[in-house]
């Protein structure tokens, strides 16, 4: 079943380099796919903030549980996982926080 997604964008994200835009697309797509597959959520949010050469992305939902680095292969090491995607960025991209 489709889940409505609220998208909030702040700052000049259209000025991001093409590689970072692509990484952002795939990162958010994977997060939303995982949400739809595992969380049972009825709504989701994607927030992006581009300021002073820094892009912050927050993806959340109202579903059960949360991502855990300790218990998730996909977040830790998988070449298709969210953390791996963030680490592949040629900047200091990293997951800032995960709910425990």
pLDDT digits (tens, 9 = 90+) for 33-62: 888 888 899 999 999 998 877 788 888 899
Is there a domain that residue 99 lies in? no
Provide the whole-model pTM: 0.70
Q: Which residues contact 26 (CB under 8 A, 6 or more apart)?
A: 85
Question: Residue 98: what pLDDT?
Answer: 47
The CATH number given to whatever domain includes residue 19 is: 3.30.565.10
Is there a domain that residue 24 lies in? yes
Is there a domain that residue 20 lies in? yes
Is there a domain that residue 40 lies in? yes
Is there a domain that residue 95 lies in? no
Is there a domain that residue 94 lies in? no
Q: Which residues contact 48 (CB under 8 A, 6 or more apart)?
A: 7, 8, 9, 10, 11, 13, 24, 55, 56, 57, 58
Is there a domain that residue 97 lies in? no
Question: Residue 57: what pLDDT?
Answer: 87
Is there a domain that residue 93 lies in? no
Residues in the chain predicted with pLDDT less than 70, given as ranges, are 1, 66-100
Q: Which domain holds residue 75?
A: 5-87
Domain count, the chain: 1
Question: Residue 49: what pLDDT?
Answer: 92
């Amino acid at each position: 079943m489709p889940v409505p997604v609220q998208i909030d964008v702040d700052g000049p994200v259209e000025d991001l380099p093409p590689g970072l835009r692509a990484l952002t697309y795939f990162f958010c797509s994977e997060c939303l796919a995982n949400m739809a597959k595992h969380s049972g959520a009825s709504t989701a949010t994607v927030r992006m903030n581009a300021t002073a050469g820094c892009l912050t992305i927050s993806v959340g939902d109202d579903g059960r549980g949360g991502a855990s680095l300790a218990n998730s292969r996909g977040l830790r090491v998988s070449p298709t996982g969210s953390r791996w995607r963030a680490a592949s960025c040629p900047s200091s991209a990293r997951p800032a926080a995960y709910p425990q």
